[in-house]
Amino acid sequence: MLIYVYDSNHMKKVNESLNWPSLIATQPVAGLIPGTLREVAERVDANAYETFFRIGDPVRHIYLVISGEARLIRIDRRGGEVILQRSRGGFIAEASLDSRSYHCDAIAAESTTMLMFTSSAFRQALEDDFVFCQSWQTLLAKEVRKLRAQCERLALNSAVERVIHYIESEGSDGVIKLTQSRKSLAAELGITHEALYRTLRRMQNEGVLEVAENRLAIRV
Amino acid sequence: MLIYVYDSNHMKKVNESLNWPSLIATQPVAGLIPGTLREVAERVDANAYETFFRIGDPVRHIYLVISGEARLIRIDRRGGEVILQRSRGGFIAEASLDSRSYHCDAIAAESTTMLMFTSSAFRQALEDDFVFCQSWQTLLAKEVRKLRAQCERLALNSAVERVIHYIESEGSDGVIKLTQSRKSLAAELGITHEALYRTLRRMQNEGVLEVAENRLAIRV
DNA sequence: CGTACTTTTGAATCGCATCAAATCTGGTGG
DNA sequence: CCACCAGATTTGATGCGATTCAAAAGTACG
């Protein structure tokens, strides 16, 4: 098992003027950021497996994923990894904004580029800019709904049901393109990777599921 | 298994002027409600097991629990009940506000009194009142953190660990006062009620847990 | 071209779900 | 007041499915 080394000095701050129109084209969420915040945004590049904050750290920054993937995780006592949030574009750890310290670890799942805002500037912007405040609210509400769906999924007690629920709630029309390794998917579904491999195989054999490289499709 | 009958006519609308100071004393969250919304609030009394909205229903109202308990639930295909949210004071289904229709069922777990606001008035208030918008945002962020904790708990794969996690994250100092039946707690923990009874018994026998009527305490 | 990680399969074990049934409890109506 | 009923609590027996441990083959990357 990999031990994530916490060394934020590895994270490269890229000091170049940001091209907002193209950022917004890639990540529409970036369009919500008001001008005052744009001015203080810093671009940050993180390598795969790099930790950019840890549980207990004081909340000093807010991150927006531009490319790659950032994750909130928790390591349980046996070393198992629980994925609490996976962001491939958009904010990560939004709810930390009004906490003193982070309540989980954040890592880059692959080579990842993010925008970094100081949390104080961010809070200030939310106080000053009504429209921004409203968008932020919509974003949080969406996260709540997503998490409820995940709780519902984790409450199912068979691997088959969790896979089906995942495809139906995260994909569309019974089809989903996987954006992660199966091992990661297993962690997100709350089962071991072995169980997931076997489940996919069995469902495929029974003709319930089409399994391609990175595409899962339920057969009706 | 009880079948919940959907008959919102049973819900009693109580047309008496609301005493806001005393409401706020009971439920501090009510203090966030701006004056314009207070004027249109209606008090509603629901009996135990009464359903007050269903999955798929258009979102027409927002509810605030004053006394009793309201729950968001989903019934899986085998008739099992999954508890998605439990509110004993404060809002329920906050995140539905910017959805077209509800994504789960809502029932009163016991005799429950709520305030009801039309969602259009509520949305309007959020648009007009900056301070209210900010409080709402804080509330949603809190809900996100709570749900993350629940996901983390449901990802644990032993009943003992879930019980401990529950006590540590929902209680304080290793002690929790239960506000629900054990059967309900089991549903919230994602295990069967039999498994929970046995787990509590075993933990008690091993001296890990003190189990009183409605009080669970971890022994160090 | 070695190293680290993922994918895959196998075998043994263990815990939870499931089905069954008895007791207990609080509330309702005769 | 008591009989009754619905639901909660509790215990038992059984089987299945996921975890766990082990190991081999595949793959990506510097």
CB contact under 8 A, B141 and A140: yes
Tell me the DSSP string of B149-218: HHHHHHT--SHHHHHHHHHHHHSBTTEEE--S-HHHHHHHHTS-HHHHHHHHHHHHHTTSEEE-SSEEEE
pLDDT of residue A2: 40
pLDDT of residue B193: 96
Question: Is A6's pLDDT higher than 60?
Answer: no
Which residues in 1-20 of chain B line strand D, with CB less than 7 A from it? 2
Report the C-alpha gap between A45 and A16 in whole angstroms: 12
pLDDT of residue B6: 45
User: What's this model's pTM, rounded to 2 decimal places?
Assistant: 0.91
Mean pLDDT of chain A: 90
Q: Chain A residue closest to B142 (CA)?
A: A95
Question: Is A180's pLDDT higher than 50?
Answer: yes
pLDDT in tens, A50-97: 899 999 999 999 999 999 999 999 887 777 788 999 999 999 999 999
Mean pLDDT of chain B: 90
Contacts (Cβ under 8 Å, ≥6 apart) of B177: B171, B214, B215
| Overall average pLDDT of the A196-217 stretch | 94
Report the C-alpha gap between B3 and B169 in whole angstroms: 32
Here the tokens at position A152 are 């519902």
Q: Measuring from the CA of residue A47 to each C1', which nucleotide is nearest? A: D29
What residues of chain B have any CB closer than 8 angstroms to a CB in chain A? 72, 74, 76, 82, 84-85, 94-95, 97-99, 103-104, 126-127, 130, 133-134, 136-138, 140-145, 147-152, 154-157, 161, 190
Q: Chain A residue closest to B128 (CA)?
A: A130
pLDDT band with cut points at 50, 70 and 90 for residue A15: low
pLDDT of residue B2: 38
Instruction: Find out whether B201 and B147 touch, Cβ atoms under 8 Å.
Output: no
Ranges of chain B with pLDDT below 50:
1-9
Contacts (Cβ under 8 Å, ≥6 apart) of B7: B50, B51
| Overall average pLDDT of the A156-170 stretch | 95
**Which residue in A97, A96, A112 sits closest to A49, CA to CA?**
A112
SS3 of B80, please?
coil
Instruction: Find out whether A71 and A52 touch, Cβ atoms under 8 Å.
Output: no
